[in-house]
Amino acid sequence: MPCYRCGARQTDPVRGASPWQRGVRHESQVLICPDCQRLHDLDLDTCSTCGSTALICRLGEVECRSCGAVRMARSSETLGPAPVTAPPGLSAEVEAALNRVLGRA
Ligand SMILES: [Zn+2]
Ligand SMILES: [Zn+2]
């Protein structure tokens, strides 16, 4: 995954912690290269509890790595279960069966 801001590619991992920062922006997981981390207009999502930008976004949740607060991602609200609809043709079948039962066929 390249840097979300400048598109730089992460170089081969060196020993120790990666200088690249993980963050969440508009509820999507992003990577920030060491150069862009110095900028102050990164527009990252922040933890509503402690204000940290050290967030992880995963399936419908945003977790703060600083204080552990977890909140639902707003965008997940639109991904609710799909409405259950009867497959096409079923109602006609049911109607025919009812007609048979009722002697109307
Ligand atoms: Zn960058
Ligand atoms: Zn926090």
pLDDT for the residue numbered 81: 57
Q: Tell me, letter by letter, the H, E, C secondary structure of the chain.
A: CCECCCCCCCCCCCCCCCCCEEEEECCEEEEECHHHHCCCCCCCCCCCCCCCCCEEEECCEEEECCCCCEEECHHHHHHCCCCCCCCCCHHHHHHHHHHHHCCCC
pTM as predicted: 0.62
Using the mean position of ligand 1's atoms as its centre, give its distance from the Cα of residue 102 in Å.
72
Using the mean position of ligand 1's atoms as its centre, give its distance from the Cα of residue 48 in Å.
25
Using the mean position of ligand 1's atoms as its centre, give its distance from the Cα of residue 33 in Å.
4
pLDDT tens across 2-45, in order? 999 999 998 766 678 788 999 999 999 999 999 999 998 899 99
pLDDT tens across 58-98, in order? 888 999 999 999 999 876 555 555 556 656 667 888 888 88
> Is-contact 73 60, C-beta < 8 A?
yes
pLDDT for the residue numbered 67: 98
Pick the ligand that lies closest to the CA of residue 7.
1
